[in-house]
Structure 1
Amino acid sequence: MATAFNSGSDKSGPNRSIEDAPSGAGYKAEPGEEFMNERQQAYFRQKLLAWKDSILKESRDTLAQLQTDTMREPDITDRASSETDWSIELRTRDRQRKLISKIEAAVRRIDEGEYGYCEVTGEPISLARLEARPIATMTVEAQERHERNEKVSREE
């Protein structure tokens, strides 16, 4: 198996749990640490589930706001503006609904032991990429190749 490269020194030592990491702190691999070991899997599972919970909370807040607000502005311009704002908000929620399915798929990949490996090449996806985009399914190189091929087929 591949080992994760150390992207910085972890001054807190190997006994520090993932849950003890300060909010916003990225995963720091120990020297020689095996790629996608239990500690890394636990970290990314927690990160994905927290992201999902945040999206669901925002959705509940939007729904509550929709139920309490009425679209009865007397001025037609104000009403149009409100409707446009809500339309944008609902489109955002729809994109986030789709994101939730990607988050759930990533958690399933963790459960199946496939998380962190490129679905095209089978190579490990860098921890930095997973930190930035935890739902990533391809290495940067495979993603770029995929996007180039997509662009070429659209132009034809």
Structure 2
Amino acid sequence: MTTGSSDELDILERVRKSLGADYVPSEDEEYMSLKQQDFFRKLLLEWKGSIHSASSATLQSLQDGPIRDADLNDRASSETDWSIELRTRDRQRKLIAKIDSAMRKIDEGEYGFCEVTGDEIGLKRLMARPVATMTVEAQEAHERREKISRDD
């Protein structure tokens, strides 16, 4: 079984490798040029496809039959593993919605710009997290406000 965050990173890394080294966005070119938009569209589509494949494999495993471990400890361990796997797939379902939103933003010409400040998010951040919607600074401020409101 896998864990949510590391699984996302593994899938994204495999997707980046599958795109090949033909083109990698560079700071030297115009920000969000058509070439960069096309690169990120392909990256997002490949990522979404990988998530769907992983989900299909999980679904197939679930359909193969119920857990039938004779030992109660083994059964409890298996059920815990399945619970973690299902939570991971739920996270990925939510991630697909973010990928779809990012692709809509590419189509609308808004991809790569912060929802809060309107500034460029930056290629390095988008390469690390293609569904990012805020600059690092805006994200940090958002998380600080969120933490303060949680503490109240």
TM range (shorter): 0.7 to 0.9
User: Is the alpha carbon distance of 1:153 and 1:30 closer, same or farther for their aligned partners in structure 2, counting shifts above 3 Å?
Assistant: closer
Residue 34 of structure 2 is aligned to residue 38 of structure 1: yes
What is the distance in 2 between the residues matched to 1:46 and 1:36?
A: 14
SS of the aligned residue for 2:69 comes to coil
SS of the aligned residue for 1:119 comes to coil
Match of 1:132 among 123, 128, 131: 128
Residue aligning to 1:147: 143
Query: Are the equivalent residues in 2 in contact too, given 1:26–1:131 (CA < 8 A)?
Result: no
Residue aligning to 1:109: 105
Residue aligning to 1:29: 26
What is the distance in 1 between the residues matched to 2:93 and 2:141?
A: 27
Deviation by residue 1:95-131 (Cα, 9 ceiling, x = unmatched): 1100010010000000111000000000111100000
Query: Are the equivalent residues in 1 in contact too, given 2:44–2:103 (CA < 8 A)?
Result: yes
What is the distance in 2 between the residues matched to 1:21 and 1:59?
A: 21
Which amino acid is the alignment partner of residue 123 of structure 2? Answer: L
What is the distance in 1 between the residues matched to 2:70 and 2:37?
A: 54
Which amino acid is the alignment partner of residue 105 of structure 2? Answer: R
SS of the aligned residue for 1:97 comes to helix
Query: Are the equivalent residues in 2 in contact too, given 1:116–1:137 (CA < 8 A)?
Result: yes
Residue aligning to 2:119: 123
Residue aligning to 2:83: 87
| Bigger proportion of residues as helix | 2
Query: Are the equivalent residues in 2 in contact too, given 1:27–1:131 (CA < 8 A)?
Result: no
TM-score, scaled relative to structure 2:
0.83
Where does structure 1 lack aligned partners over 5 or more consecutive residues? 1-19
Alignment coverage as a number of residue pairs: 135
Deviation by residue 1:24-60 (Cα, 9 ceiling, x = unmatched): x8723263x2211100000000001111100000000
Where does structure 2 lack aligned partners over 5 or more consecutive residues? 1-17
Larger Rg: 1
Which amino acid is the alignment partner of residue 122 of structure 2? Answer: S
Identity rate, percent? 61
Residue aligning to 1:70: 66
